[in-house]
Structure 1
């Protein structure tokens, strides 16, 4: 009798989870279309800077909130359902290099911007995946963009697109390997490493489906409650500077006559907060103005891999030392790639 009741409750809970998943997908698909329709209904011009900034803020906030809630719940359920010791043993048995390569591969197939990859990064850290591997994913997910690669191939040539993919992947693995040489765990905020899910498997206990769902929901609420205000701040800042791409400035101060053009382009690309699809046309326009290939590549990589909103959001999960180390390593790596592209391009 008890088993039959538990079975019915599990069936009801699975149906609720399926319904929640369909609702999440519907909201995801309707997000951008809904804001576009609202702009049209109000008779506003989406090309104007104020309207475009507000539209970007609303769309990106909903997108990141959906990702944060959905991915944290899914990762929480996986953590509650799997034996994490076996997962860690699997990665350790395959060696660090395999883990770094898998992180890059996952980064390539996840079409996330620099901010959208953070929820999955949080889940990986909370699951006990080695920090060097999770940071490699955080670098590769926005940097090695398949969308950017296709557009680079179309506008710059497929040889350059292949070089971009290889360079971004190698840079991600190299930085991850360097990070693995240090004990970075103390530089992660405690909010990521604590939660109800971590206590489910103590003593060999196998949690039931309701226990796994409850733990995943509670952990998602805890993390979301800690970071949501920083998401709003980060996206608001990104919206304020979205669309302001000073092409004439770059053509003048990062031109072929400036030996520090790669440095200027890398630093100037950070505040722009655009994805691969948005920055490649800008890069192509700069290239036609005479900017060298390596300078253009550094600008595009910096724009999609690093951003001020990303730094604000990551501050809630990484302590200042690790945040500075992460941004510094990626920035220097992109500059080095820019100089290499200029040398061999």
Structure 2
């Protein structure tokens, strides 16, 4: 019995250490990039978005807003007070929808994390998140022309925790908060990946998410709702699933529904949308994820 447990422990440590060594550098680089953008570039990105106000861009502003949402390093709870300030300054709701949707799905830190998945999954993730932001903006543009979509009442000006006068200390403090916030979920993701590799047959992953691609996309979109905790925690699982036979479309669907339905993001979105529009947000997210997954599987 003891020998059996020791053997299982050795196997699990092997899988854990292998996965950890493959992804650790991307996690570190992602945190460094995320903190650098947050400390040194965040204000420039947000000023660029604010500068769109007054320009006659029309629907083209939605494209710029979606791109700037991806570039923004803020989480959704940081984005909403910022969006409230944007709204008070006159930024249109369709541009705000594009900015907030793409900001939920992706940020510079998560882009670097996702590099470990390979060039194709990374490109699909960036393109699908960018297009999802555009789709959200277009829906608001045409469906809510005569009335406001968001309710930002009660939100004050956003506050920043990066206030140290020394730029290096500002960066190091932000990096420390980043490590504290993402480290536990990163290690949990690697541990779950080791357990999956040891005890879940690769054929099962291929059967669920690879061979039957239409059903696999639906399954991936569905499990993305309860399973997603944070980007750093799910990257190890995605890497392993792709190796075991998960289709690219299933991975794309998971990468959309996961962050869009993350519990903390849902709580923040519910505040500014209300019940009916929040339900519409969930329906839009799932349908876009399914459509994206099916199209990706056809193309790839």
Give 2:109's aligned residue: 147
SS of 2:102's partner is helix
Give 1:169's aligned residue: 130
Q: Distance in 1 between matches of 2:102 and 2:130?
A: 7
1:128 aligned onto 2:90? yes
CA contact (8 A) 1:283 1:297 kept: no
**In the alignment, which of 256, 263, 285 is matched to residue 240 of structure 2?**
285
1:178 aligned onto 2:139? yes
Give 2:292's aligned residue: 337
Q: Distance in 1 between matches of 2:261 and 2:250?
A: 16
SS of 1:316's partner is helix
Q: Distance in 1 between matches of 2:240 and 2:273?
A: 36
Which of the two has higher C-alpha Rg?
A: 1
Give 1:315's aligned residue: 270
Task: List runs of 5+ in structure 2 lacking aligned partners.
Answer: 1-42, 160-184
RMSD (Å) for aligned C-alpha atoms:
3.6
Task: List runs of 5+ in structure 1 lacking aligned partners.
Answer: 1-74, 79-86, 196-215, 221-238
1:94 aligned onto 2:56? yes
Q: Distance in 2 between matches of 1:152 and 1:327?
A: 24
Q: Deviations over 1:158-214 (max 9, x none)?
A: 24423332232122112211210022745533xx2468xxxxxxxxxxxxxxxxxxx
1:324 aligned onto 2:279? yes
1:103 aligned onto 2:27? no
CA contact (8 A) 1:114 1:304 kept: no
Q: Deviations over 1:315-341 (max 9, x none)?
A: 222121221222221221122111122
Distance 1:93 1:116, change over 3 A: closer
Distance 1:159 1:293, change over 3 A: closer
After superposition, where does 1:297-316 map in structure 2 within 5 Å? 297-316=252-271
Distance 1:273 1:114, change over 3 A: farther
Q: Distance in 2 between matches of 1:150 and 1:312?
A: 26
Q: Distance in 2 between matches of 1:315 and 1:268?
A: 21
TM-score (norm 2): 0.60
Distance 1:112 1:272, change over 3 A: farther
Distance 1:331 1:96, change over 3 A: farther
Distance 1:132 1:147, change over 3 A: same
Distance 1:258 1:154, change over 3 A: closer
How far does residue 253 in structure 1 lie from its aligned partner after superposition? Answer: 4.0
Distance 1:152 1:133, change over 3 A: same
Distance 1:116 1:336, change over 3 A: farther
CA contact (8 A) 2:228 2:234 kept: no
Q: How many aligned residue pairs are there? A: 219
Q: Distance in 2 between matches of 1:338 and 1:258?
A: 9
How far does residue 116 in structure 1 lie from its aligned partner after superposition? Answer: 4.2
CA contact (8 A) 1:272 1:303 kept: yes
Give 2:222's aligned residue: 267
SS of 2:246's partner is coil
CA contact (8 A) 2:121 2:252 kept: no
